Amino acid sequence: MSGITADNKKQLVLVSGRAHPELAEAIAAELDSELLPTDARTFANGEIYARYDESIRGTDVFVIQSHTAPINEWLMEQLIMVDAAKRASAKRITVVAPFYPYARQDKKGRGREPISARLVADLFKAAGADRIMSVDLHAAQIQGFFDGPVDHLFAMPVLLEHFRAKLDASTLTVVSPDMGRVRVADIWSDKLGAPLAIIHKRRDPLVPNQVSVHEIVGQVEGRVCLLVDDLIDTGRTIVKAAEALKNAGAIGVVVAATHAVFSDPAVELLQSDAIDSVVVTDTLPVDEAKRFDKLTVLSIAPLIARAIHEVFDDGSVTSMFDGAA
C-alpha cells in the first residue's frame, strides 16, 4: 500500500479526484508518499464511479479534489470518493478542498436564496467526511457550517514570500478590492508595513459577474498598489479596481490572489495595461492556455502537505501560521 506509516497502527492514505491530479501528486511528493491508485470513471449518462485499488481499512484518508470547472462534477466525484472510503472502513476521512466550492453563496443576500456553502458542508458530512481542510475560505464563518473540525489554511505566507523581495514598502499601498476583503488586506498591510486603501465595489444583484467601482478610500496617488483578493473569477473585480487605481494616480498595480478560477474572459481582461503583474497559487489548475506573461503561479502543495502531516500526526495546524511571514 502507498502512504506513510507513523507507527505500526496508523497509516496515512492520500487519494485524489481527477480534477487536478498534478496538485495531489505534488502534495504526495512533499510528504514523501504516493497517491493510492483509484479507478474513477464517468459513465455515458454522466454518473461517476470510484473504487480504491487497495484496502484502506483503518487508515487516515485524505481525499484531495480541486473544485475547478465543471465544478458540480468534481464536487460529486469527491462526495462519491468519501462515500467509498467510509464504506471501505477508513478510520478517519478528511476532505481536502483547497478551493471550497460554492463559498461565495454563504448567506442570504435576498429572500428565497439558498445558502449553498452550507449545503456543500452538509453534503460532505452526509457522505462521511470527519473533517475538512481548505485554503483561504471566502468567509471564515464557513468553518461553522461543517459539524466537525475545519482546518482553514492561509496562502498569505506563500504569497508574501514572493512579494517581500519585489516590493518596496515605502511606496506601497495594500488595497482591498471590496469591503469583503478588508480584514485580510489589513493583515497584509501590517505584515508589509504599508498603508491600506479600500475600494467600494458595487454588484448588480440581477446581473451575475458585473461590477462597478464607486469610490477609493485611502492614499493611492503616486503609490504602487498591491490588490489582494481571495479569488479571481471573470477578472472583472480586479480589472475594474486596477483601472480605478490607475485613474486615481497609482504608479503601478500588482495583484495577489489565492484561487485562479479564471472563467472567461479573465485571461483576456487580466492582460490589461492597468495591471503590471498577477500572482496566484495552484489551488486550482492553471492550464497552459490560461497562462500569460504577467502571471506567476506559486505552488500551494508544501503548505497543504504540511497541514496534512500536522493533522495525521496530531500536531498543530495553527502553529503553521504563528508569526508566519
Binding positions for D-ribose 5-phosphate are 203, 229, 233-237
- Considering the rule CB under 6 A, would residue 233 count as an interface residue with ligand R5P? yes
Tell me if 67 sits within 8 A of 97, measured CB to CB. Answer: yes
- The CB-of-302 to ligand R5P minimum distance in angstroms stands at 24
Other Cβ atoms less than 10 A from the Cβ of 293: the count is 6
DSSP 16: E
Are the beta carbons of 265 and 239 closer than 8 angstroms?
Answer: no
Choice from 55, 89, 209, 219 touching ligand R5P (CB under 6 A): 209
CA distances from 198 to 189, 214, 225, 242, 245 (A): 12, 11, 11, 12, 10
Q: Applying CB under 6 A, does 136 fall inside the site for ligand R5P?
A: no
Q: What are phi and psi of 120, to 5 degrees?
A: -60, -45
Rank residues 41 and 107 by Cβ distance to ligand R5P and give the closer one.
107
Tell whether residue 234 is a contact of ligand R5P (CB under 6 A).
Answer: yes
Nearer to ligand R5P, 129 or 142 (CB): 142
Residues contacting ligand R5P: total by CB under 6 A: 16
Minimum distance of ligand R5P from residue 197's CB (angstroms) = 16
The answer to whether residue 98 forms part of the interface with ligand R5P (CB under 6 A) is no
CB nearer ligand R5P, residue 18 or residue 181: 181
- Please confirm, yes or no, whether 201 is among the known catalytic residues: yes
Annotate 131-148 with three-state secondary structure.
Answer: EEEEECCCCHHHHHHCCC
Instruction: Output the known binding site.
Output: 45-47, 104-105, 138, 178, 203, 229, 233-237
The only residue of 28, 80, 213, 232 in contact with ligand R5P, by rule CB under 6 A:
232
Select which of 201, 240, 290, 294 is catalytic. Answer: 201
Q: Specify the amino acid at residue 265.
A: P
Binding status of residue 18 toward ligand R5P by CB under 6 A: no
Cβ-defined contacts of 274-281 (< 8 Å, 24+): 274/239, 274/242, 274/243, 274/245, 274/246, 275/238, 275/239, 275/242, 276/252, 278/232, 278/238, 278/254, 279/159, 279/162, 279/163, 279/254, 279/255, 280/232, 280/256, 281/135, 281/155, 281/158, 281/159
User: Interacting stretch for ligand R5P, rule CB under 6 A, among 145-153, 233-241, 245-253, 271-279?
Assistant: 233-241
Choose one: 87-95, 105-113, 117-125, 234-242; the region binding ligand R5P (CB under 6 A): 234-242
Largest CA distance in the chain: 63
The reply on whether position 231 binds ligand R5P by CB under 6 A is yes
- The residues carrying an active-site annotation are 201
Which residues are at the interface with ligand R5P (CB under 6 A)? 104, 177-178, 180-181, 209, 211, 229-237
